[in-house]
Amino acid sequence: MFETKIAIVVREDLQVWQKLNVTAFLMSGIVGGAPEIVGEPYVDAANNVYASLTVQPVIVLAADAATLAKIHARALDRGVRTALYIEEMFATGHDAANRAVFAGYGPGTAKVVGIALREEKKLVDKITKGARMHP
């Protein structure tokens, strides 16, 4: 049905609130990079209007830190644009602080806790190899 796949991979040892926080932030990055995936507003039987949702499903996967580092490297090697969340961002309180701390790390030093991508299905599967469905 869809030529692309959206996958979010979160580090499995995070606290539940951190997993949810990271997933929400990463999905906002995917939507920001591909606004065409947002559908029409929802309207209920009483004519209440609700916010639009994405038109395609999102798969949420889990992985350990080493697998996340491999996924990050595979995405970079293939030139795939991702949304990335690093551990140090948990200590910040706003977007500008997130950007500042993020800028201090590169692919070899970033402690990746979450990564999201939207690409052709087979490519997403190759990049996210080693991650498993989130329990």
Tell me what pLDDT residue 135 has.
81
Please, what CATH class does the domain formed by 4-129 belong to?
alpha beta
Count other Cβ atoms within 10 Å, centred on residue 97: 13
CA–CA gap between residue 14 and residue 10 (Å, rounded): 8
Distance, CA of 127 to CA of 122 (rounded, Å):
9
DSSP H/E element including 96: helix 95-102
Mean pLDDT by 10 residues, the chain (135 residues): 95 97 97 95 98 96 97 98 97 94 95 98 98 92
Q: What is the DSSP letter of 10?
A: E
The structural domains of the chain, with segments of one domain joined by +, span 4-129
CA 10 vs CA 26, 46, 70: distances in Å: 10, 38, 13
Q: What is the pLDDT of residue 31?
A: 97
Nearest-angstrom CA–CA distance, 2 and 25:
23
